[in-house]
Structure 1
Amino acid sequence: MRTIASYLRVLGFSVLGYLFLDFIGSTGETSIFIEQPWVWVVLGVLILFHIAGEICAAALKSILYRALNPEAKIKYDKKIAFEKANKFKWFRETYKKMLGSKAIEEEDEIILDHNYDGIKELDNNLPPWWVYSFYATIIFAIIYMVRFEVFNDYNQDEEYEIEVTEAKRQIEEWKKTAKDLVDVNTVILLTDASDLKAGQTIFNNNCVACHKTDGGGGIGPNLTDEYWILGGGIKNVFNTISEGGRDGKGMIAWKTDLKPAEIAQVASYVLSFQGTTPAEPKEAQGEIWVNPEAPDETKETIPVITNDSTAIQVTSNQ
């Protein structure tokens, strides 16, 4: 009962200390334990001092009681000896039963008649834990044989294929949320407002010097028309941003400065310029790009006038 009372006192003082520190230190909006984490250290030290005081008080009380009452000391010593003798008694007895062996004093009951130059042999039983484990392996073997040899459940090849299929499914699910794993083969056009906003920020920080804010083009080409030097579409634009433009006169490769997810965002933002009207559009460069994956019925023939005034027919997406 004294131990329970000590625990209750420690708990009570801890709660009171918590409330007191929170009352004098909190601003009223959040707890002081969130505003000032060092308060946890102060409260912890107070609790440790209180616990140490309880332990010292109990020890001192026991010493004084035994010193002033010899009979109590004898009774206390007997109690300690009894507790020590019975400490872990259940564990020791259980361990002894698991070994299944006889005590040294009882070994004469299991000595065999064999005598080899004065050496005798004990007829100890196998440890019960070993015997039960052996029986368990037999039962497992029977169940395994019936399941896989009699009823022809899945074999190792089938199990391997199932595990590989499941692993691939999990990888694909993971890739859907792991944007930084995107590459030129897996990139798709992003349409979420958050992605386009992020792409706009990247574009404004890195691209406006050459392409202008509205994509009309300056040093770099016009991004609002249908003409592309290295191909249009999300995959081509992603690859151009990542690997850079034409050798010697194109833009630098941004793959060392931007993450794949960021390249996908800015590429999607660049494609959002299509069909807009910039303030000072630069003349068209490159060729009209045709999406090879687009259905044939969505294509039409558009006449394009080249520098030598020769008209050619170009198939384009509508």
Structure 2
Amino acid sequence: MKKYFQSIAYIIFIAVTLFAIATAIKSYENPFSLYEHPLVWIAAVALIIVIILKEALNIVSQQKAEQLQLEKDGIQPEEVDNWAWAKSIINKWTAAKAIEEEDEIILDHNYDGIKELDNNLPPWWLYLFYATIIFAAVYLTRYHILGADTQEMEYAHSVEEAKRELAAYKSNSKEAIVDAETATVLTDASDLSRGKAVYNLNCAACHVADGGGGIGPNLTDEYWILGGGMKNIFNTIANGGRDGKGMVAWNKTLKPKDIQKVASYIISLQGTTPAKPKEPQGELYKEDGEAPAVVMPTTEEQLKDSIQ
């Protein structure tokens, strides 16, 4: 009776666990994210462990039953070859002759007492060779006769399809995708408030809270090292400054919309008066395309400054 209860409990546990995992897969967007849904992984690991333990118990029970049957039949367990099945498979796939049977395949050639055996090719090697012939025939027919797409052509088709899907997504998406080309200056108070929060958290350490410049340059004047305006500022924040000389790229940390908001906030700092403004750096930026005036760094500190 105890055995039946164990089997019933095992079946119920497997069914409930599988149902829970299937429900999680259907309900969660990322069901196998360890950080978001650790219970899914716990259930899966528990299921695997229980199945392994159950199978191990079955094997042990079967071995004990076989041992008892052998003792009942008067056969000693030491006389039984437990690896007979493996040896049978190896012999079948290698077609090797035992030493005692080599007289059947020995050739008449004799080289100074050395004789040659007429062994057959191993079946595993022969079948693999036949498989390569079939593969070569299919490949030749598909790509060189029927003219199927090569890997390069498939890649080009995939890129084109991805571009079409991206364009369709942009046209149908309720929220526009923001990048350096499409970003516009935001003036709404909530957007600027969010931009200020992002700035204080990530940018104020180098540019000071009022934008006057610290390790980084002054953000309140009209001089820019990599250009002013929304497009240039967005691109600088997203991709960082000059290699090894400027700030890091923030596109892996900040979302595009937050980059747009913090760039809008930086633009709103134009014309303000910081407490301790740094000297101008870079070139005078004009939206109307006027020739900019170049302001070269005059001190060693300015030479080491990061870029905007």
Common fold: TM-score over 0.5: no
Q: Which structure carries more relative contact order (alpha carbon 8 Å, separation 6+)?
A: 2
- Please tell me whether Structure 1 or Structure 2 has the larger radius of gyration of its CA atoms: 1
TM-score, L = length of structure 1: 0.42
Normalising by structure 2, what TM-score? 0.43
